[in-house]
Amino acid sequence: MREKKKKINVMKWINNLVTGILMVLLIGVASMVVISKASGGEPQLFGYQIKTVLSGSMEPGIKTGSIIAVKLDIDKDNLKEGDVITFRESEDMLITHRITEVTKNGDSVLYRTKGDNNNAEDMNPVLSANVVAMYTGFTVPYLGYFANFTQSKNGAFLLLVPGFLLLLYSAFSIWKVLSAIELPQKKQTEVLEENSGKSSS
């Protein structure tokens, strides 16, 4: 009896764990898709933004396919050598590289930059006005591929996967509970029928 109770408790714990994981997955994917769509691209919170790095120019510190956190509210004219910045190379292109030299030309501040994994500095210096953010040091490898997909037209369909799994697992759990209830009732009916047969004889 004790072993049976222990087995039921273990099954209950596993059931709660799997349900919890699927719920976290569903909420996490939903949040990423909603925040990405609402912000028009990368998720943004409290002056920080999550960006996707899909080149290897900053390896090994920032691996290809990573997501990084960058700080948006910075003093663009007072960055220093060694800072890693995200800057606008062109209207539709952002680059994250390290500052190698700071030069001032009148009221203008220019930054020479270089990717840690590149052999040479970037060809054009970066005007301080074109700096978008500064890298905070926070990075998660390979999650950028997933984040990049959530921003695509098919990204919303990711919600269906954990949602469908959660639905299936819930149906399975309900079936297990119903089976556990029906089994004692069936045994009780069989016992009553058996006793009834004995009484008749």
Residues marked active site are found at: 55
Structure tokens at 108: 């203008």
113 forms beta bridges with 99
Rounded CA-CA distance 171/179 in Å is: 12
